[in-house]
């Protein structure tokens, strides 16, 4: 069984191939290069380096967001198109959950986080329960201050994960003090192998045609539209 995994949900890029439960290759880069330029070349490269032809791929796992709208769409479009035209199952995995996998050896709360500008973040809280990652707080778009308040009440050590954590490290430390834990940059790299490993545990595949990113946010145009419409009470 050959899995292809893709994560382009934020500026890092990661692609991986897992064969019969073993990671064959994984290529990750934190460089801020346009995904549209490098995502498909990266997919082609991991296939070439492992001598796997596209038709040999048995399943596709993709990071479904949240994250950069454009970034998520590039990965999802590639994954959808490959799954559909190859006739193979597609699995969408939360970008936050797969990032949280980087903390799977940590005994405490895991808080993966992506910056969403204007003091907002995409974030969630997970913890390990046995060998499974379980959700403590759902993936959401929220104000950082709100998130920190919730975390404070949990009165447990929390490991923050993600390359955007450094943007907010000061406010996190101010709010949470010793409760907040930070690790080396190595844990901040999103890994397509984690996307695959979570997809392998999914109960069923997603429907390919109707698969869409999990933006976790409606567009500004829709927000404005709701504002304009008279409310019927």
Partner 1 sequence: MKKDHYILGIETSCDETAASVVKNGTEIVSSIVSSQIQQQKQFGGVVPEIASRLHVEQITLVIEEALREAEIVPKDLEAVAVTEGPGLVGALLIGVNAAKAFAFANQLPLIGVHHIAGHVYANQLMHPMEFPLLALIVSGGHTELVVMKSHGSFELIGETRDDAAGEAYDKVARVLGLPYPGGPQVDRLALESEQSIDFPRAWLEADSYDFSFSGLKSAVINYKHNIEQKGGQIDPQHVAAGFQQSVVDVLTVKTVKAAKQFDVKQVIAAGGVAANQGLRKSLTEALQKEGIPFYVPPIALCTDNAAMIAAAGYEMWKSGVRSDSTMNGRPGMPLKSWN
Q: State how far the alpha carbon of 95 is from the alpha carbons of 6, 57, 149, in Å.
A: 10, 22, 23
The secondary structure of 122-187, three-state, reads: EEEEEEEECCEEEEEEEEEEEEHHHHHHHHHHHCCCEEEECCCHHHHHHHHHHHHHHHEEECCHHH
Please say which residue, 41 or 130, places its beta carbon nearer to partner 1. Answer: 41
Q: Minimum CB separation from partner 1 for residue 18, in Å?
A: 19
Q: Does 213 bind partner 1 (CB under 8 A)?
A: yes
Q: Does 15 bind partner 1 (CB under 8 A)?
A: no
Residue from 1, 49, 54, 185 binding partner 1 (CB under 8 A): 54
Q: Does 34 bind partner 1 (CB under 8 A)?
A: yes
Please say which residue, 65 or 190, places its beta carbon nearer to partner 1. Answer: 65
Q: Minimum CB separation from partner 1 for residue 215, in Å?
A: 8
Q: Does 225 bind partner 1 (CB under 8 A)?
A: yes
| 3 state DSSP class of 56 | helix
Please say which residue, 37 or 134, places its beta carbon nearer to partner 1. Answer: 37
Q: Does 182 bind partner 1 (CB under 8 A)?
A: no
Q: Does 39 bind partner 1 (CB under 8 A)?
A: yes
> Are 112 and 161 spatial neighbours (Cβ–Cβ below 8 Å)?
yes
Residue from 50, 70, 150, 171 binding partner 1 (CB under 8 A): 70
Q: Does 219 bind partner 1 (CB under 8 A)?
A: yes
Q: Does 221 bind partner 1 (CB under 8 A)?
A: yes
Alpha carbons 213 and 139: distance in angstroms, whole number: 13
DSSP annotation string for 5-51: EEE-SSSSEEEEEEETTEEEEEEEE-S---HHHHHHHHHHHHHHHTT
Q: Does 210 bind partner 1 (CB under 8 A)?
A: yes
Please say which residue, 79 or 101, places its beta carbon nearer to partner 1. Answer: 79
Alpha carbons 52 and 4: distance in angstroms, whole number: 10
Q: List residues bridging with 134 in a β-sheet.
A: 127
Residues 72-91 within binding reach of partner 1 (CB under 8 A):
73-74, 76-82, 84-86
Q: Which residues bind partner 1 (CB under 8 A)?
A: 34, 36-41, 43-44, 54-55, 69-70, 73-74, 76-82, 84-86, 208-210, 212-213, 215, 219-222, 225
């Amino acid at each position: 069984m050959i899995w292809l995994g893709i994560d382009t949900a934020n500026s890092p890029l990661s692609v991986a191939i897992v064969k019969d439960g073993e990671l064959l290759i994984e290529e990750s880069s934190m460089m801020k290069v346009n995904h549209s330029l490098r995502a498909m070349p990266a997919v082609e490269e991991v296939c070439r380096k492992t001598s796997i032809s596209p038709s040999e791929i048995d399943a596709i796992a993709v990071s479904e967001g949240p994250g950069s709208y454009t970034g998520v769409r590039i990965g999802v479009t590639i994954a959808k198109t490959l799954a559909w035209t190859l006739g193979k199952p597609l699995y969408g995995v939360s970008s936050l959950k797969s990032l949280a996998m980087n903390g799977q050896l940590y005994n405490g709360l895991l808080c993966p986080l992506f910056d969403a500008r204007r003091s907002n973040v995409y974030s969630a809280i997970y913890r390990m329960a046995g060998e499974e990652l379980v959700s403590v707080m759902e993936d959401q778009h929220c104000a950082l201050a709100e998130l920190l308040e919730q975390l404070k009440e949990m009165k447990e050590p929390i490991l923050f994960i993600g390359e955007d954590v450094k943007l907010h490290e000061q406010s996190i430390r101010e709010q949470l003090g010793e409760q907040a834990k930070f690790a080396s940059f190595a844990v901040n790299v999103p890994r397509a192998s984690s996307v695959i490993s979570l997809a392998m545990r999914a109960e069923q595949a997603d429907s390919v045609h109707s698969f869409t990113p999990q933006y976790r946010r409606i567009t500004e145009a829709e927000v404005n539209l709701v504002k304009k419409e008279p409310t019927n009470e």
